[in-house]
Structure 1
Amino acid sequence: MSAAIMGPAVSTFFNPQFSMPFSGAATPLVYALCLVAILITASGIMEMSSRLPSAGAFYTYVTRGIGPKSGFVTGGLMFVAYALLPPAEVGLVGSYLQSTLRDEFGIAVPWWAIGLVPAALMIFLALEGVQSSLRTALVLFTAEVVIVVTLAVIVVAHGGKHGLTLQPLSPSASPHGVGGLVTGFVFAALSFVGFEAAATLGEEVRKPARNVPKAIGLSVLFVGAIYVFCVWAEVVGVGVGAANKIDGTSTPWNDLAATYAPWAKLLVILAAVSSMFAVMVNSNTGVVRILHVMGREGMLPKLFAHVDPKRKTPTYAVLVQGIFSVVIALVVGAVAGGLGSPEGGSNVYGYLGFLLTLGILPVYVLTNIATMRFFRKEGGFRLVRHGVLPGLAILLMVGLLVGQVQQQTTAPYTWFPWLIAAWVAVVAAGAIWLGRHQPEKLAVAGAVMATGEAEEGHVVTHEAASGSVTTAP
């Protein structure tokens, strides 16, 4: 589950293009550094998941380690990050297919018209029930990973464009120095978002104290290795000089297939589209679930709690989220490049992807702070596992966020950290108000915003050393 939600295929096909305007040919190094940083960050999450197996995951960890108000803020950050992913994918699939149809077949179709097709299908599947489509998406996911790794191996076997070189793993390959590496890092971090997904199964798997942390750690290692290898193969395949010119509108994997494996070109196109659609469906399902439960718990209008008696799906939550995704994609695209140019669609993905990554990074910070506090308070504190590694993770993630404020010089990227800061301020104000006036709703609200889970009438009272959770009315 963790590996699938990271989306190795779609992340490999498209995310490096958003790092390369900044880190250029050094983007493989960015992904390698990001892998190390995410492993360090994941260590605190793994420790918490071994002691607090819960569907609430980050919300539960932060609430138990820091407090309910911080847990509420965590839920708010996760909600905004999840809600922005479906419209980001609408823009990406539209931009990619507009460029592909134009370059390969001479057909001119605007990205927004293309993006409406998978968006409509996403809404239809959500209304009908998506279990069968999710199973299909998992099969497609496996095929996509095989395709992208196979193509990368073919590129390397051919020796790349100018021979194999480790230059892309050197900081000197960055055309914009250290600042370019820092900025490229955020887009690389987007590729790892979702590694923590296995933590939400803490109440359902056998031996969660062992299996959940193991799943998280191995997923980061496995998918991260795919990223580093494939992005390195991409750079040597197109050439170091050409890699410095790649941007969000580029389709380098189409070019690699045409150059090194013409027979695989159609497979790459199909894998890219199916991968984007799978991510769209998965993320939409999560947001719809959250909206539905927020309606059921009285935090949103009751219409969101409505369930179709025949299909057993939350009709209004599906429609509102679907309309939101389309409107956000069209508005951002129109402002950020136009509805007729693939740049508009690619900027939808770039801008929203940047925003949601900046939203999820503070969640990792809060979780590692919670790790340090929880184990000191509850016992079992180990200096390296519960002190050094979480402390280093906090420094890495905070440093990354600060680096964005300092290094970004181009609008609208310069605005995005402040948008996230404003959202945190609004959510924090809501947490303070609920804590004073409706404290009983504070815990429920934070859990729902984070995962769409709420245990009515129950509170966690104790965790045994083995990681089991007992609840009481």
Structure 2
Amino acid sequence: MKKESKEEKRDSLSLRRNALGLGGAVVMSAAIMGPAVSTFFNPQFSMPFSGAATPLVYVLCLVAILITASGIMEMAAKLPSAGAFYTYVTQGIGPKSGFVTGGLTFVAYALLPPAEIGLVGSYLQNTLRDEVGIALPWWLIGLAPAGLMIFLALEGVQSSLRTALVLFTVEVIVVVTLAIIIVMHGGRDGLSVQPLTPGASPHGVNGLVTGFIFAALSFVGFEAATTLSEEVRKPTRNVPKAIGFSVLFVGALYVFCVWAEVIGLGAGNANRIDGSSTPWNDLATSYAPWAKLLVVFAATSSMFAVMVNSNTGVVRILHVMGREGMLPRLFAYVDPKRKTPTYTVLAQGLFSVVIALLVGAFSGGLTNPTGGSNVYGYLGFLLTLGILPVYVLTNIATIRFFVKRGSFHLVRHGVLPILAILLMVGLLVGQIQQQTTAPYTWFPWLIAGWVAVVTAGAIWLSKHRPNKLAVAGAVMATGETENEIALSSDGVNPPK
């Protein structure tokens, strides 16, 4: 058997370099936020509290997320790694914290695909039943996009992002077009900036605060471009730009569309909206009946884009953790032809389907659309509890990293990260306090238990395999450290 050269072994561990430009990275972050899904389904969870002032809530959220993103952008500019948060926290705080961060990030990203399987399944089950009289179980509907997600991931990141770009473009066109039509009609009671003022909140400042807690869910995933750092051209420049551009673009879209929604409904109706409402279906019926099916298509394509992009992110995080010995070496394998982590893709795809089916079966049934919607609600809350501590840890890591480097900037590496920490801790506490019924009251304990498990794993590695923990987060898109680790590793490719 021909002995594998050092160059060949290094290449066998690498994802496809320079596969994407700035545009692809922007699509990764923007699409995972799901502009259509977040616009069509999320504001009504804020409106029982902030009512007609919900557009102002989204303005405040945009500012808060930009502050939070600043620390992540600073780290992405210095540490271009597909491990993203896992790498940042490892370099800024330490390997044990990095390992815990990797575990929390896994919860956040890995639960998004099964959550979307449940949402797309239940949404289309209801739509097909109401519009054409076809009765299909939500789980069967959800398996179709899940299978396509796995196929695209096996084909490579370019195929996934090309599909996401098309879907993202369609959903943005539909939701913005409908919003413009509402504005051109003058809405229900005329155009007004009142929804952008605190006085529009029916419950005052407390209503704004609570509405903010729910609206912030629309921005989860803004950092997804960081997981493409090893596949984007000039990652130290393009990844931070992608994060900033995607937050600004999608955030502005949210503000405009939610403002148009309130204008279209009228302040009184907006104050009566609740989480079970489907206001955009009603808006389409009132202002553009011909667009109702387009709304359904845009919502569905947005769910699928979120599914594809979140899957892309978690696959790459798991790949890096496997490559560094934090997970079984099977996760480090890269298909030599397609340059994709084949076994990681299959494992994550199977996980998504199984979790969606299990949660749905035990929370509403496999034939009742409630089962699918509960999958989205339960897993969505869980992944939020997972990602918020990651944002906190990353901003702590930003402060420590730049202090240790001797390149600390008071505003970029001090003031902004501290503000981000305070905002995200407050949001996390608010999320927990607002959920007072089971099973939501159980979920913080599930996350706490998961943190305990991964912390125990980090401690075990530090005692029994300190060399593995020592290299955590060290694999970069550039630099000799990556080559040294790659060439010293053993047993990366599974036996044939």
> Which TM-score bucket, shorter chain as reference?
0.7 to 0.9
For the aligned residues, what is the CA RMSD? 3.1
Matched residue SS, 1:457: helix
Mean CA deviation greater in 41-50 or 85-94 = 41-50
In 2, the alpha carbon distance for the partners of 1:52 and 1:314 equals 21
In 1: Cα distance, 2:330 partner to 2:406 partner = 45
Determine the structure 1 residue equivalent to 2:252. 225
Select between 378-387 and 395-404 the one with higher mean Cα deviation.
378-387
Moved more, 380-389 or 192-201: 192-201
Give how far 1:204 is off. 5.8
Structural mapping, 1:49-448, within 5 Å: 49-127=76-154, 131-171=158-198, 173-174=200-201, 181-202=208-229, 208-291=235-318, 299-300=326-327, 316-443=343-470
Give the unaligned 5+ runs of structure 1: 449-453, 460-473
CA, structure 1 residues 386+309, in 2 after alignment: closer, same or farther (shift >3 Å)?
Answer: closer
Query: 5+ unaligned residues in a row in structure 2: which ranges?
Result: 1-24, 476-480, 487-496
2:69 is aligned to 42
Deviates more, 1:127-136 or 1:250-259: 127-136
Which stretch of structure 1 is more off in the superposition, 57-66 or 141-150?
Answer: 57-66
- C-alpha separation in 2, matches of 1:154 and 1:122: 33
TM-score in terms of structure 1 length: 0.85
Question: For 1:43 and 1:231, how far apart are their aligned partners in 2?
Answer: 25
Q: CA deviation at 1:314?
A: 5.6
Residue deviations 1:316-353, cap 9 Å, x none? 54444333222322232233334343333222112211
Distance 1:289 1:186, change over 3 A: same
Equivalent position of 2:484 in the other structure: 457
23-32 or 434-443, which deviates more: 23-32
Displacement after TM superposition at 1:178 (Å): 5.2
Shift of 1:151: 0.8
| 1:320–1:377 CA distance, 2 compared to 1 (3 A) | closer
Q: 1:128 to 1:57 in 2, by over 3 A?
A: closer
SS in structure 1 opposite 2:189?
coil
Give 1:46 shift.
Answer: 2.0
Scaled by the length of structure 2, the TM-score of the pair is 0.81
Counterpart of 1:58 in structure 2: which amino acid?
F
Cα shift readout 1:227-249 (whole Å, capped 9, x = no counterpart): 11112212222333443454454
Q: Following the alignment from structure 1 to structure 2, what is the Cα–Cα distance between the partners of residues 46 and 293?
A: 20
After superposition, the Cα gap between the structure-2 partners of 1:263 and 1:287, relative to the gap in structure 1 and judged at 3 Å, is same
Residues 153 and 159, structure 2, Cα contact 8 Å, conserved in 1: no
**2:348 partner letter:** Q
CA deviation map 1:411-464 (0-9, x unaligned): 22222222222222221221122112211222556679xxxxx946349xxxxx
Aligned positions, number? 454
Distance 1:303 1:383, change over 3 A: closer
- The one-letter code matched in structure 2 to 1:116 is L
Asked if structure 1 preserves the Cα contact closer than 8 Å seen for 2:227 and 2:313, the reply is no
CA deviation after TM superposition for structure 1 residue 394, in Å: 0.7
Task: Report the Cα offset of residue 103 of structure 1.
Answer: 2.8
Partner of 1:4: 31
Output the amino acid matched with 1:439.
Answer: P
Is the CA contact (8 Å cut-off) linking 2:86 and 2:473 kept in structure 1?
yes
Name the % identity.
84
Residue 252 of structure 1, CA deviation: 2.5
